[in-house]
Amino acid sequence: MKRARPLSALGPVMLALRLASVRAPAGDQPQWGEPWSRNMVSKEKHLPESFDPKTGRNIKWIAKLGTQAHSTPVVAGGRVYIGTNNEEPRDPKHKGDRGVFLCLDEKTGALVWQLVVPKRDEDSYMDWPRMGMSSEATVEGDRVYLVDNRSAVLCLDANGLANGNDGPFRDEAAYMTPSTSDGKPRQQPGAETHPEVLRPPADGKLLQPGPLDADIIWKFDMVAQAGIWPHDAAHSSVLIHGNYLYLNTANGVDNTHKRIRAPEAPSLIVLDKRTGKWLARDDEHIAPNVFHNTWASPSLGRVNGHDLVFFCGGNGMVYAFETLLDDTASDRPRALKKVFQFDFDPTAPKTEVHRFNGNRREGPSNFYGMPVFFQDRLFVAGGGDIWWGKNEAWLKCIDATRTGDLTTNSVIWSYPLNKHVLCTPAVADGLVFAADCGRIFHCVDMKTGKPLWTHEINGEVWASPLVADGKVYLGTRSGNYYLFAAGREKKVLAELELGDPISATTTAANGTLYIATMTRLLAVKEGAQATMRE
Ligand SMILES: [Ca+2]
Ligand SMILES: [Ca+2]
């Protein structure tokens, strides 16, 4: 593939900016997907049909990231938030492999502050080298909720340390200091290695927080406090409902990929957003059948007058739970009350699932994307695990108004995908859009599940399609970027090569698109012209 000129060689904000027109802002995008349905749609208008990073046409600014950036950018309060690694260090005191979470200025892409967290060095399978921070931020007011690369849930101050170090958490120095000097995994082959709490060096030499470092308000360590077993990379997108945070735990297999080491650990937890106190958990005994990990985040919708939390477990089951009431308080985490469950793949094996590890023809299903709630229905994409499971995958539409076991009585339609799926679907104007790792983009009729059109694309799709302003925006792991008309007839508006693999879903906020590749974040705006300099 012909690579575009590596703009990442430019400085973070070395692009002069000229806007041809200024339009009224439509809104922030403070979380991944539409609140709270997680539908991959946006109400933004006047979004570009094309752009060119080589000439700067319709480019507002470009910010350098590290060498991997798997989270989707989030925009709130004049800031853009995105996770990456430390291969493009922004502060010389943070050396070596780290999880990095950037807070950038929305107007210019300049760094406001960054959260830099040491890797887990007990075992590389607990925090994969150079993966960076993969979770999406969720922002409410001046509070930023995030799961870091050590599987800790953090509440951060959007104002950083500029307005002082706010508490109760004030151990930023210890939390940013690695326990070993080189940060490399110290695992021994075959050794029984357990996850450990970060213990900075005994010599007392701590890194000192400066104005570029994040201000942590509170921290909840899912490994130490909820007993999960981290695997590969933590990924969660926190859902806020009232005073409570709902999130998946990223509890997974160990480095053999055939053993669950924390069979009692929760898959879905609820924390108090004010304090980080652990209030509730699922009691569905999901963990023993988690085939790989618990990477799919929850969604929320109102059914029959009640708010329900929808959750796709790492065991191939879809659940709905009652939300907690706003006066919930107890000494120990209570069990979430289940409203329904749905077996996404009922003929798949249900016991000793890890014997199917590496089997591409037969085995259980799991999920990476979120269940989208739309008009009393859930739209769910799932199937065999991309790394270790079977190839089969589906997009399914479920009636979310029933209770109990929905497996046999609530499938409205099921549409087979080509191969492995990681995306969350986008539902708009009677159409459902999804893309799979078999390199096919799908447009399906929302009512019937009948395919309307498909398009063969370059590269696996780890991102989700975004529908906004009558267009579908989608990037792929081969670095190709597609714009389709969001209609019943196929119309490819543009196909670009951005030069680096793309994992992030495109974000639309305040009239601008945010498109992240592995190495750079593009702010794309109709009428903008960036001056490209060496
Ligand atoms: Ca502060
Ligand atoms: Ca603090």
Hey, is 5 helix, strand or coil? coil
Q: Is the pLDDT of residue 26 over 80?
A: no
What pLDDT was estimated at residue 361?
Answer: 97
Give me ligand 2 centre to Cα 170, in Å.
4
Give me ligand 2 centre to Cα 82, in Å.
20
Q: Which residues have their alpha-adjacent CB atom under 5 A from ion ligand 2?
A: 165, 169-170, 215-216
Give me ligand 2 centre to Cα 229, in Å.
26
pLDDT band at 19 (very low <50, low <70, confident <90, very high): very low
In the chain, % of residues over pLDDT 90: 88
Give me ligand 1 centre to Cα 165, in Å.
5
Q: If you write DSSP's letter for every residue of 194-260 in order, what string do you get?
A: --------TT--PPPP-TTB--EEEEEETTTTT-----S----B-EEETTEEEEE----B-TTSS-B
Among left, alpha and beta (phi > 0; psi -120 to 50; other), residue 363 is left
Tens digits of residue pLDDT in 64-103: 999 999 999 999 999 999 999 999 999 999 999 999 999 9
Give me ligand 2 centre to Cα 247, in Å.
22
What pLDDT was estimated at residue 6?
Answer: 38
SS3 letters across 117-168: EECCCCCHHHCCCCCCCCCECEEECCEEEEECCCCEEEEEECCHHHHCCCCC
Distances (CA, A) of 119 to 125, 180, 196, 527: 11, 10, 11, 41
Q: Which ligand is nearest to the CA of 209?
A: 2
Give me ligand 2 centre to Cα 261, in Å.
33
Mean pLDDT of 48-65: 97
Q: Is the pLDDT of residue 279 over 70?
A: yes
Q: Is the pLDDT of residue 21 over 80?
A: no
381, β-bridge pairs: 395
Distance CA 112, CA 95 (A): 19
Distance CA 34, CA 37 (A): 6
Tens digits of residue pLDDT in 421-465: 999 999 999 999 999 999 999 999 999 999 999 999 999 999 999
Q: If you write DSSP's letter for every residue of 463-510 in order, what string do you get?
A: S--EEETTEEEEE-TTSEEEEEESSSS--EEEEEE-SS---SPPEEET
Mean pLDDT of 490-507: 97
Query: Which residue matches tokens 């509890």?
Result: 251
Q: Is the pLDDT of residue 254 over 80?
A: yes
Give the range among 15-24, 78-87, 364-373, 485-494 with minimum mean pLDDT: 15-24
Q: What are phi and psi of 356, to 5 degrees?
A: -95, 5
- State which amino acid sits at residue 23: R
Give me ligand 2 centre to Cα 152, in Å.
15
Compute the Cα dihedral for 347, 424, 404, 262 and give only its sign: positive
Tens digits of residue pLDDT in 211-228: 999 999 999 999 999 999
Strands 466-468 and 41-42, bridge-based pairing: parallel
Distance CA 320, CA 309 (A): 5
pTM of the model: 0.94
Query: Which residue matches tokens 């997907």?
Result: 33
Give me ligand 1 centre to Cα 160, in Å.
5
Give me ligand 1 centre to Cα 168, in Å.
11
Give me ligand 2 centre to Cα 27, in Å.
29
Give me ligand 1 centre to Cα 189, in Å.
43
- Name 418's Cβ contacts closer than 8 Å, sequence gap at least 6: 393, 436, 437, 438, 439, 440
Query: Which residue matches tokens 């709905």?
Result: 320
Give me ligand 1 centre to Cα 156, in Å.
8
What pLDDT was estimated at residue 11?
Answer: 40
Mean pLDDT of 330-348: 95
Give me ligand 2 centre to Cα 79, in Å.
19
- State which amino acid sits at residue 92: P
Tens digits of residue pLDDT in 384-418: 999 999 999 999 999 999 999 999 999 999 999 99
Q: Is the pLDDT of residue 10 over 50?
A: no
What pLDDT was estimated at residue 345?
Answer: 98
pLDDT band at 191 (very low <50, low <70, confident <90, very high): confident
Q: What are phi and psi of 96, to 5 degrees?
A: 90, -175
222, β-bridge pairs: none
Q: Is the pLDDT of residue 534 over 50?
A: no
- Whose CA is closest to 10, among 521, 525, 493? 521
Give me ligand 2 centre to Cα 207, in Å.
15
What pLDDT was estimated at residue 13?
Answer: 35
Average pLDDT, the chain: 93
Structure tokens at 463: 């991102």
Distance CA 86, CA 1 (A): 27
Structure tokens at 306: 């009640």
Mean pLDDT of 257-276: 97
pLDDT band at 17 (very low <50, low <70, confident <90, very high): very low
Distances (CA, A) of 48 to 187, 281, 473, 511: 49, 43, 10, 9
Give me ligand 1 centre to Cα 80, in Å.
18
In the chain, % of residues over pLDDT 70: 93
Give me ligand 2 centre to Cα 172, in Å.
7
Give me ligand 2 centre to Cα 174, in Å.
12
